[in-house]
């Protein structure tokens, strides 16, 4: 019997994809021990947008959430998602911040760090991989999967070999848009397993309606682990349902090690959490939809809804199809970057500008200029000189690793937040999201921190 293990995403990507990461630690607590007993390879519990959401919306300390989960999950590995040199934000950090953040993540309970770069530039991954291993963690390096004329199976197999050379403990095919088709998934897994002697995990989203077929084919090809979400937060923009995949795979002769009774207990609780967010209007029914356009336009589901929302706000919803058709053109102009954070937002915004202004690259956001300057890393394909000229004029793009240009940041960060930070973790929260962290830390120590000062004028009549 073949074995395939499962990583459960309900506490991170599952709820991030469907309720914008609003699930509180209190809502997670009742099922943590049950999840620990269910037989998973790992639980994805941290990173991605959870950190920002804790500080910005939930008034929670993300580090305290991690410590709490670790206290209740004693056997199963805890996993997080990290954007390489970007950590959990949208810009590159200096190596000293990356080093400290990873060390503290592992100290506070993380076992596996899934590290990816939006451009698949190994230079943006090297520091994070080295530090993870030195701190005793497992460095899983993720391929940001996408499709384009240059993103062939050969391209990704070669990338997996490069990731092995920089020290990856395992490889993940991260299909954030749900565009990995069954046959390509089969070929890709087969080839990587033949060329790289490391465990291989596959992560996809159910957005386009083909994810279960893809998981079956990658299992047949020898994938070691797949990512699923408990049924309450599965399907649509999330991962396929854990329970359904386990039943199907076990019948096909795969051993998953999952105790379905435990998973059903988790689902019973998570159904009540889901229903709460549905009643609150945070769970939009559209996130459960199947969206085949992701396969046509190669655009993640979240990006589709975001573009429509932006256009609707400006009274231009009727131009949605035009903007969608512009996305692949902009992507080609920019060297076919994978549409993953932050590149998905950047390409989407540029496409929007091109259509609204009626002139391509008449208005160019600063982030796109920095991308063309090389400050995000090396584009997958060279950018045409005419496009460079349109965007940055005669400027010469950098060729060094972007983080090499950043001086150490921790000393000044510690100084800036000294009035509120009580630990290195507090400093790292501030480094990640300065305003949100400062407000959170301020409220923690002073109940009147963000209460507006009121002046009262009194007229005295003698």
Q: How many CA atoms lie within 13 A of 300 on its CB side?
A: 25
Give the three-state DSSP class for 141: strand
DSSP letter for each residue of 286-308: GGGS--THHHHH---HHHHHHHH
What whole-number percentage of the chain has pLDDT above 70?
97
pTM of the model: 0.94
DSSP symbol at 282: -
The DSSP bridge pattern shows strands 200-203 and 77-82 to be unpaired
DSSP symbol at 318: G
> What is the pLDDT averaged over residues 171-187?
96
What stretches of 254-384 show up as alpha helix (H) in DSSP? 260-279, 293-297, 301-313, 320-333, 343-357, 366-372
Using the predicted structure, report yes or no on whether residue 323 has a pLDDT greater than 50: yes
Of the chain, the end-to-end C-alpha distance in Å amounts to 95
pLDDT of residue 62: 98
**What letters, b where the CB count within 10 A reaches 16 and e where it falls short, cover 298-333?**
bbbbbbbbbbeebbeeeeeeebbeebbebbbebbeb
**455 pLDDT tier (thresholds 50, 70, 90):** low
129 neighbors 166 (Cβ within 8 angstroms): yes
**453 pLDDT tier (thresholds 50, 70, 90):** low
pLDDT in tens, 340-391: 888 988 999 999 999 999 999 999 999 999 999 999 999 999 999 999 999 9
C-alpha span between 243 and 201 (Å, rounded): 18
C-alpha span between 212 and 235 (Å, rounded): 10
110 neighbors 79 (Cβ within 8 angstroms): yes
More confident residue, 306 or 28: 28
Give the three-state DSSP class for 208: coil
Using the predicted structure, report yes or no on whether residue 77 has a pLDDT greater than 60: yes
**454 pLDDT tier (thresholds 50, 70, 90):** low
pLDDT of residue 148: 93
C-alpha span between 143 and 140 (Å, rounded): 10
Q: Which candidate, 176, 247, 193, 210, places its Cα nearest to that of 13?
A: 176
Q: Which of 258-267, 321-330, 437-446 has the highest mean pLDDT?
A: 258-267
**311 pLDDT tier (thresholds 50, 70, 90):** confident
**What letters, b where the CB count within 10 A reaches 16 and e where it falls short, cover 394-430?**
eeeeeeebbbeebeebbeebeeebeebbeebbbbbbb
C-alpha span between 249 and 255 (Å, rounded): 8
pLDDT of residue 366: 95
- Any idea which of 114-128, 201-215, 256-270, 296-310 has the lowest mean pLDDT? 296-310
pLDDT of residue 312: 82
Q: How many CB atoms lie within 10 A of CB 33?
A: 14
Tell me which CATH code domain 299-404 carries.
1.10.472.90
Q: Which candidate, 399, 297, 404, places its Cα nearest to that of 348?
A: 297
Ordered by start, the domain boundaries in the chain are 5-285, 299-404, 410-461
pLDDT in tens, 287-310: 888 888 888 777 776 677 677 777
DSSP letter for each residue of 29-89: GGGHHHHHHTT-SEEEEEETTHHHHIIIII---HHHHHHHHHHH--SSEEEEEE-GGGTTS
What stretches of 179-241 show up as alpha helix (H) in DSSP? 182-195, 211-221
**Which residues, in sequence order, are CB contacts of 180 under 8 Å at separation 6+?**
145, 173, 188, 202, 204, 214
Fold entry, domain 5-285: TIM Barrel (3.20.20)
> What is the pLDDT averaged over residues 112-138?
97
100 neighbors 430 (Cβ within 8 angstroms): no
5-285 and 299-404: identical CATH topology: no
pLDDT of residue 462: 39
pLDDT of residue 274: 96
377 neighbors 123 (Cβ within 8 angstroms): yes
């Amino acid at each position: 019997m073949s074995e395939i293990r499962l990583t459960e995403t309900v506490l991170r990507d599952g709820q991030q994809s469907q309720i914008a990461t609003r699930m509180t630690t209190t809502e997670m607590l009742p099922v943590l021990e049950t999840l620990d007993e269910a037989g998973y390879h790992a639980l994805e519990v941290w990173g991605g947008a959870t950190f920002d959401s804790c500080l910005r919306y939930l008034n929670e300390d993300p580090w305290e959430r991690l410590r709490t989960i670790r206290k209740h999950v004693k056997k199963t590995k805890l996993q997080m998602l990290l954007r390489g040199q970007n950590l959990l934000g949208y810009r590159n950090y200096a190596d000293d911040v990356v080093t400290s953040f990873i060390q503290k993540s592992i100290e506070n309970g993380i076992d596996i760090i899934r590290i990816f770069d939006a451009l698949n530039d190994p230079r943006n991954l090297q520091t994070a991989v080295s530090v993870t291993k030195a701190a005793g963690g497992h460095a899983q390096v993720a391929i940001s999967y996408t499709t384009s004329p240059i993103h062939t199976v050969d391209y990704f197999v070669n990338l997996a070999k490069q990731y092995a050379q920089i020290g990856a403990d395992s490889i993940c095919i991260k299909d954030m848009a749900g565009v990995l088709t069954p046959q390509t998934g089969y070929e890709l897994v087969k080839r990587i397993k033949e060329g790289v002697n490391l465990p291989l995990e596959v992560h996809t989203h159910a957005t386009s309606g083909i994810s279960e077929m893809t998981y079956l084919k990658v299992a047949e090809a020898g994938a070691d682990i797949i990512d699923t979400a408990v049924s309450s937060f599965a399907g649509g923009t999330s991962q396929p349902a854990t329970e359904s995949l386990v039943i199907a795979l076990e019948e096909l002769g795969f051993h998953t090690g999952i105790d379905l009774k435990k998973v059903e207990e988790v689902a019973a609780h998570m159904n009540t959490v889901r229903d709460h967010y549905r009643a609150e209007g945070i769970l939009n029914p559209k996130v459960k939809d199947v969206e085949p356009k992701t396969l046509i336009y190669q655009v993640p589901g979240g990006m589709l809804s975001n573009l429509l929302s932006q256009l609707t706000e400006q009274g231009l919803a009727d131009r949605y199809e035009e903007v969608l058709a512009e996305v692949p053109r902009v992507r080609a102009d920019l060297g076919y970057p994978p549409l993953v954070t932050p590149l998905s937002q950047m390409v989407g915004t540029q496409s929007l500008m091109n259509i609204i202004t009626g002139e391509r690259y008449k208005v160019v956001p600063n982030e796109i200029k920095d991308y063309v300057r090389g400050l995000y890393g090396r584009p997958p394909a060279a950018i045409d000189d005419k496009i460079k000229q349109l965007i940055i004029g005669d400027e010469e793009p950098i060729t060094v690793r972007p983080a090499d240009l950043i001086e150490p940041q921790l000393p000044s960060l510690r100084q800036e937040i000294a009035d509120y930070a009580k630990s290195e973790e507090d400093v790292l929260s501030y480094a990640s999201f300065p305003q949100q962290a400062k407000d959170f830390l301020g409220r923690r120590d002073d109940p009147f921190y963000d209460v507006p000062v009121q002046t009262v004028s009194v007229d005295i009549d003698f």
